[in-house]
Amino acid sequence: MAAAVPDSIIINKCSDFKVTGSGNSEPWKDASWIALDQRGQDTIGYSTKVKILYSDTGIYFLFNCRDKKLTSTMKADNLNLWEEDVVEVFLWPDDSFPVYFEYELSPMNFELPIIVPNHKGTFLGWLPWHYEGDRKTQHATTVTGGKKISGGEVSGWIAEIYIPFKLLAPLNNVPPRSGTRWRANMYRIDHDNVTRSFAWQKTGRSFHEYDKFGTFIFE
């Protein structure tokens, strides 16, 4: 297996399991937490961490977000979820071609799955076609220290996500094999009194600066 390089992480392999939003499934016990760094000067101390696994069929993410209030009023999928509390995953399997997959999930469990063509900073997302069956994601969220309601006072929220590799077709380098490398990044946006953002790999003004993504190396 390839060794880790700077700004990279090794993604361990697992058998498929059910997504519940609790993060209590047995495979997660062997996965390590990855911290997301808060961007900017505000130091409120909302820790954000992520675990990642992959199987023969897809890739799993588990976000744990400390928080005080849920800012999440949108009540449908495919809206501008980034304007409220959200976690985000960017997957760029083939870095020779500037097209990648972006996935967003709100605390209320609404999603935004899009393929993004990005030509030198000019980009727009396209929603999946025939989004059904084994091409659909699995996703669930739970809340700690409060109720899962918009504006609710909480101590944090958890997002659990499964993205099937079939959804990423026809991107190249999918599905990954042992030693496969994907460029990727992970983010969180929080909207309490002010907007705060968190990232695994630091970008500038835009999360879409794909040249600054890190690297996933599959076990």
Where do the domains of the chain lie, and which CATH numbers do they carry?
Answer: 8-218 (2.60.40.1190)
CA–CA dist 84, 207 (Å, integer)? 15
CA–CA dist 130, 83 (Å, integer)? 27
CA–CA dist 70, 144 (Å, integer)? 11
Average pLDDT over the chain reads 94
- 17 band by pLDDT with thresholds 50, 70 and 90: very high
The predicted model gives 160-174 an average pLDDT of 97
The predicted model gives 62-73 an average pLDDT of 97
Residues 80-125: tens digit of each pLDDT: 999 999 999 999 999 999 999 999 999 999 999 999 999 888 999 9
- 3 band by pLDDT with thresholds 50, 70 and 90: low
pLDDT for 29 equals 96
The predicted model gives 49-66 an average pLDDT of 98
CB 213 within 8 A of CB 5: no
Per-residue pLDDT at 4 exceeds 90 = no
Amino acid in the structure at residue 3: A
Per-residue pLDDT at 1 exceeds 90 = no
pLDDT for 193 equals 82
Amino acid in the structure at residue 126: W
Nearest to 163 by CA among 74, 40, 57: 57
pLDDT for 42 equals 66
CB 210 within 8 A of CB 4: no
CA–CA dist 80, 58 (Å, integer)? 25
CA–CA dist 58, 64 (Å, integer)? 20
- 166 band by pLDDT with thresholds 50, 70 and 90: very high
- 130 band by pLDDT with thresholds 50, 70 and 90: very high
Q: Which is higher by pLDDT, 40 or 37?
A: 37
Q: What is the distance in angstroms between the CA of the first residue and the CA of the last residue of the chain?
A: 6
Per-residue pLDDT at 2 exceeds 60 = no
Least confident segment among 34-48, 53-67, 173-187 = 34-48
Residues 172-217: tens digit of each pLDDT: 999 999 999 999 999 999 998 888 999 999 998 899 999 999 999 9
Per-residue pLDDT at 6 exceeds 70 = no
Whole-angstrom CA distances from 175 to 117, 130, 180 are 20, 19, 9
The structure tokens listed for 65 are 């977000």
198 Cβ contact partners less than 8 Å away, ≥ 6 residues apart: 36, 37, 38, 39, 46, 48, 187, 188, 189, 190
210 Cβ contact partners less than 8 Å away, ≥ 6 residues apart: 90, 92, 95, 98, 100, 118, 183
The structure tokens listed for 73 are 């009023």
